[in-house]
Amino acid sequence: MLPFLGAFLFLVPVLWGGEGGRARATAGDGIYLILAWAALIVAAFVVSRALTRSAEAPPDPAATPARPDRPAGAPEDAAPAARPGPGADP
């Protein structure tokens, strides 16, 4: 979405036009374009930080289903729980 927003922001000075067909001063337009460019850089930074944080967030343990071969709360790399064989005394 940022590229489309940037294209719109960069084309806004074209829509301003001059009064009565006279040419506009370009200094104000240049300052506007530099500020729009800086705002797009800040917006891209904010979006990239938000995406990085969501990608690095640890998964919610309550959202993952429990595996029947592991005790509750055991890490994923732990060995499966030992089950007594048939005829074994519990």
Reference 82, options 31, 3, 8, 74; nearest CA is 74
pLDDT score recorded for residue 67: 59
What percent of the chain has pLDDT above 90? 30
pLDDT on residue 6: 92
* Residue 16: per-residue pLDDT: 80
Q: What is the 3-state secondary structure (H, E, C) of 8-61?
A: HHHHHHHHHCCHHHCCCCHHHHHHHHHHHHHHHHHHHHHHHHHHHHHHHCCCCC
pLDDT above 90: residue 47? yes
Q: Which of 39, 21, 23, 20 is nearest to 31 (CA)?
A: 39
Average the pLDDT over 72-85 and give the result: 61
Look up the pTM and report it: 0.55
Q: Per-residue pLDDT for 58 more than 80?
A: no
Going by C-alpha positions, the residue among 64, 70, 73 that lies closest to residue 82 is 70
